[in-house]
Structure 1
Amino acid sequence: MAVDVAVLLILGIVIAFSCRGGGLKPGHAVVCVIFGLYLAGTDNVGPFVKDVTASVAGLLSGLRL
């Protein structure tokens, strides 16, 4: 658990600096994906991330374009 928190903090800092630097490059996108996977795997935030993702997917699938 302590390793997950440390990884989340490091990846969050890298993302913050990447966003401040401007432009999302492919390497930055990979860091964002890894951050999301770690975040979804945590016990506290994981269920919330999955619920929000399911809600957004349900909302988007219900839209008629």
Structure 2
Amino acid sequence: MAVDVAVLLILGIVIVFSCRGGGLKAGHALACAVFGLYLAGTENIGPFVKDATASVAHLLSGLRL
């Protein structure tokens, strides 16, 4: 659990500095994806992230463009 929190903190800091530093590049996007996977794997926030993702996907699938 402590390792997950440390990894989340480090990846979160990387994302913040990447966004502030002039845009998101491929390496930054990879860091964001890894951050999301670690965040979804946590016990407290994981179910919320999965439910929110499913809700957004359901909302987007219902849109007619």
What TM-score, normalized by structure 1, do the two folds share? 0.96
Q: Provide the secondary structure at the position in 1 that maps to 2:6.
A: helix
Q: CA deviation at 1:13?
A: 0.4
Which residue identity is paired with 1:7? V
Runs of 4 or more, structure 1, over 4 Å off, are: none
Aligned to 1:62: 62
Quick one: distance in 2 between partners of 1:31 and 1:61?
A: 27
Percentage of identical aligned residues: 85
Aligned to 1:22: 22
Aligned to 1:52: 52
Quick one: distance in 2 between partners of 1:25 and 1:56?
A: 24
Quick one: distance in 2 between partners of 1:7 and 1:32?
A: 12
**Unmatched 5+ residue regions in structure 2?**
none
Quick one: distance in 1 between partners of 2:14 and 2:54?
A: 27
What TM-score, normalized by structure 2, do the two folds share? 0.96
Aligned residues: 65
C-alpha root-mean-square deviation of aligned residues, in Å? 0.5
Aligned to 1:37: 37
Which residue identity is paired with 2:13? I
